Chain A
Amino acid sequence: MSKFGSALFNRLVIIIPYAWLLFFFLIPFFIVIRISLSETAVAMPPYLPVFDLASGIGGFIDNIKQFSIDNYIWLTEDALYAKAYGSSLWIAAVSTFLTLLIAYPVAYGMAQAPNTIRPTLLMLVILPFWTSFLIRVYAWIAILKPEGLFNQLLLTLGLIDQPLIILNTNWAIYIGIVYSYLPFMVLPIYSSLEKMDHSLTEAAQDLGCTPIRAFWRVTFPLSMPGVVAGCMLVFIPAVGEFVIPDLLGGSETLMIGKTLWNEFNANRDWPVSAAVATILLLILVVPIMFFQHAQAKADGEGR
């Protein structure tokens, strides 16, 4: 290929991810923002203004003038929304932490396993994906309900004499999220542990670390990229999770995914639900951008 051709090729290759981002993220996102600035209407689509090519430039400008941030103001006025955001973040954070606590040892064990059985273990981790997510969450209802499997087991073992109320509490949500998202935490941690040079822990021990200290001073810090990636893969979708709190959580559980669903379907208020979604995105994206910026800076400092 000519030099010019290959330069062109390189550019085209770079365009692909940007084009993807543009068509499947930015454009839909702007549509959401645009809806969030509109007003509800009993119509189809259920908001105003509606752009119409026939009304020309003048109509376009008129429409723009109708945009307002009333929906955002509404979100701040009703404490329900702030509470829903807060409790979503809290539930997602607790679940992410619990997922990490379980996933790390699993990933560590997998990375230590003999080469020959690692592919099998990997298969086992992703095996749950072969059944429908919804069915798996429903299965948890059967396990967690007062007369469910879990309580029966504890009762038979004589560990409790009253069934535990787990279903319809936050604990059921934690269990549901941890269970559903575990593979997303295990896989990145596993991949960062698996490629780590075993001689590093040996070197640490050689220099006087007990195996446990060697883990905390060498293995764990070096697996941080995997831990961070895993936490993001769990935390971000968990904040907006709808199915798990809806099926496993109680009626008083407040999560933003449920709120959004209510606004959208029960109230048919597209503009407010669009505003809820926009704020949710900002809450997640802004801290992540700060975090990445800080990391890039920290990386740059060593140079």
Chain B
Amino acid sequence: MKSLGSIRRSFAPWADPKSVPFIAVKNVTKKFGDFVAVDDLSLNIYPREFFALLGASGCGKSTLLRMLAGFEQPTSGEIILDGQSLAGIPPYKRPVNMMFQSYALFPHMTVENNIAFGLKQDGMPKADIAERVDQMLKLVKLDKFSKRKPHQLSGGQRQRVALARSLAKRPKVLLLDEPLGALDKKLREETQFELMDLQQELGLTFVVVTHDQEEAMTMADRIAVMAHGKVVQVATPPEIYEAPNSRFVADFIGDVNIFDGTVSSVGNGTVEIATETGFTVRVASSEPPAVGAKAGFAVRPEKIRVGRDRPACAPLNAAQGEIWDIGYLGDMTVFHVKLKDGKVIKASSLNAVRAVEDPLGYDQEVWISFDENAGVVLKD
């Protein structure tokens, strides 16, 4: 696949064939009775990586995480952590800690004792425990709440205690199962950035499970999109968004318009697809499918222009339709345009100026158009 250039930070051990994965999941299958929850799955996660597992409910994310933590044993396959096979190693001997989906705070212990719990198990001297607990409390900004019990805290505070508790032992890997699921939107966004800072600061490897794609995009270095126990694509957020490798990923991440059709010609670095909608698209493609093959074309709403005038590229990459629906979201406006054959597509435009003279209105005849590199070819 084509790489899309600069990533958020110049951290890309996965691109370097010499780097050794910290966690290697090798052909792992997990069956519950006859039901296959994780299906012949392989993954590499690198040291200091912030890795997200993203997928619909029931696709096996938690099961994979629980196998990393040691609560479930793979039916077949192997997991290697830091060069050592985890087979047969019980949860309490793994250098891995987990932040539970439900937080799982001990209700009979104060915040302080919850955080100190793992340290006491290790037989750390009392003074060192107190110091570490203090440090963790400061880190999650809960110093004032050390003597409270979990039921006396708000949801967000509980979540931070759970985080502090799982970080207190300085695990090599922190597993987070939907860590922010219970928080409201604003707090969630704040906490996402806090988590990222923390991970950078402590230099840990994070594996976070989520079914919120925005959350995964914001936090992760790489995202693994899962479906039915398999990994469909592993890539950086921009790659996943701009170059999905399948219809499933394109559809799962963000909004997308997909046009089905047949490849009509292949030129140098471009493909032309005659769509069922009636117009032809020309797309940049480095590995084009053969002429006559079925293919799909996926394009994101923000890459589609909507205008009254016939675009210069027409009839390529352009189609006529009428405005069917308008959604004003403040920062942008979403248009639903009904094309001639009845297909409704989504296009969005940024509201860069405050008041537009003569804005587009309902039922108006418009042209939609996009550039050659606006979308991707889907072969499946």
> Which of A's residues lie within 8 Å of B, judged by CB?
197, 199-200, 202-210, 213, 217-218, 221-222, 302-303
- For the residues of A in contact with B, the DSSP-based class is helix
Which A residues lie within 8 Å of B108 (CB)? 221-222
| B29-71 residues at the A interface, CB under 8 angstroms | 69-71
With a cutoff of 8 Å between Cβ atoms, the chain A residues found around residue B91 in the complex are 202, 205-206
Q: Which residue of B lies closest to A203 (CB)?
A: B104
Cα A303 to Cα B117 in complex, Å, equals 21
A202/B104 in contact, CB under 8 A: yes
Per-residue A-contact encoding for B85-108, CB less than 8 Å = 1, 0 else: 000001110001110111011111
Across-interface contacts of A221 in B (CB, < 8 A): 108
| A209 surroundings in chain B (CB, below 8 A) | 92, 121
Q: Is there contact, CB below 8 Å, between B106 and A208? A: no
Secondary structure at chain B's binding surface: helix, strand, loop or mixed?
Answer: loop
B126 within 8 A of A: no
Taking A202-B104, A205-B70, A213-B121 as known contacts, 14 extra A-B pairs with beta carbons closer than 8 A to each other, sorted by chain A number, are A197-B102, A199-B100, A200-B106, A202-B100, A203-B106, A206-B70, A207-B169, A208-B122, A209-B92, A218-B106, A222-B108, A302-B110, A302-B147, A302-B149
Q: How far is the CA of A56 from the CA of B152 in the complex (A)?
A: 60
Q: Are B69 and A206 in contact (CB under 8 A)?
A: yes
Q: Say yes or no: is B336 at the interface (Cβ < 8 Å to chain A).
A: no
Known contacts A221-B108, A302-B152; is-contact A207 B90 (Cβ 8 Å): no
Q: Which residues of A contact B69 (CB under 8 A)?
A: 202, 206
What are the 6 A-B residue pairs with the smallest beta carbon separation, nearest first? Answer: A207-B118, A208-B121, A203-B104, A199-B104, A205-B91, A302-B149
Cβ of A302 and Cβ of B117 under 8 Å apart?
Answer: no
Measured between beta carbons, the chain B residues less than 8 angstroms from A202 are 69, 71, 91, 98, 100, 104
Which residues of A have CB within 8 Å of B71?
202, 205-206
- CA distance in complex: A197, B142 (Å): 25
B141 sits at the interface (CB 8 A): no
| Alpha-carbon separation in the docked complex, A206 to B91 (Å) | 5
Closest residue of B by beta carbon distance from A200 = B104
Residues of B within 8 A of A (CB): 69-71, 90-92, 96-98, 100-102, 104-108, 110, 117-118, 121-122, 147-149, 152, 165-166, 169
Report Cα–Cα, A227/B280, bound state, in Å: 75
Docked CA distance A218–B97 (Å): 18
* A178–B184 CA distance with the chains assembled, in angstroms: 52
Q: Which residues from B are CB-within-8-Å of A203?
A: 98, 100, 104-106
A206 — which chain B residues lie within 8 A by C-beta? 69-71, 91-92, 96-98, 166
Q: How far is the CB of A56 from chain B (nearest CB, A)?
A: 60
Q: Closest residue of chain A to B102, judged by CB? A: A199
The CA of A217 and the CA of B117, in the complex, are separated in Å by: 10
A-side contacts of B102, CB under 8 Å: 197, 199
* A208-B92 in contact (CB<8A): yes
Most chain A beta-carbon contacts within 10 A, residue among B101, B104, B105: B104
Docked-complex contact B110 and A208, CB < 8 angstroms: no
Query: A207 with B121: in contact, given A202-B71, A302-B148, A302-B149 (CB under 8 Å)?
Result: yes
- Contacts known (A197-B104, A202-B71); A207 close to B97, Cβ less than 8 A: yes
Complex Cα gap A202–B106 (Å): 11
Q: Can you list 25 A-B contacts with CB-CB less than 8 angstroms, sorted by A residue number?
A: A197-B102, A199-B100, A200-B104, A202-B69, A202-B100, A203-B100, A203-B105, A205-B70, A205-B71, A205-B90, A206-B71, A207-B97, A207-B118, A207-B121, A207-B165, A208-B121, A208-B122, A208-B169, A209-B92, A209-B121, A217-B117, A218-B106, A221-B108, A222-B108, A302-B148
- Minimum CB–CB distance from B151 to chain A (whole Å) comes to 9
A209–B148 Cα gap in the complex (Å)? 23
B166: chain A residues at CB < 8 Å are: 206
Of residues A203, A210, A221, A302, which shows the largest number of chain B Cβ atoms within 10 Å of its Cβ?
A: A203
Instruction: Find A210's partner among B92, B100, B117, B118 (CB 8 Å cutoff).
Output: B92
Query: Whole-angstrom distance between the alpha carbons of A303 and B147 in the complex?
Result: 8
Tell me the minimal C-beta distance from A205 to chain B in angstroms.
5
Residues of A within 8 A of B118 (CB): 207-208
- Min distance, Cβ A63 to any Cβ of chain B, angstroms: 54
| B106: A residues at CB distance < 8 A | 200, 203-204, 218, 222
Interchain nearest-CB distance for B286 vs A (Å): 45
Q: Chain A nearest CB: distance from B133 CB in Å? A: 13
Check A207 against B100 for contact (C-beta < 8 Å): no
Q: How far is the CB of A219 from chain B (nearest CB, A)?
A: 10
Contact of B107 among A205, A208, A213, A222 (CB under 8 A): A222
- Taken together as a complex, chains A and B put the C-alpha atoms of A168 and B64 apart, in Å, by 61
In the complex, what distance in Å separates the CA atom of A217 from the CA atom of B92? 14
Set of chain A residues within 8 Å of B107, measured between Cβ atoms: 222
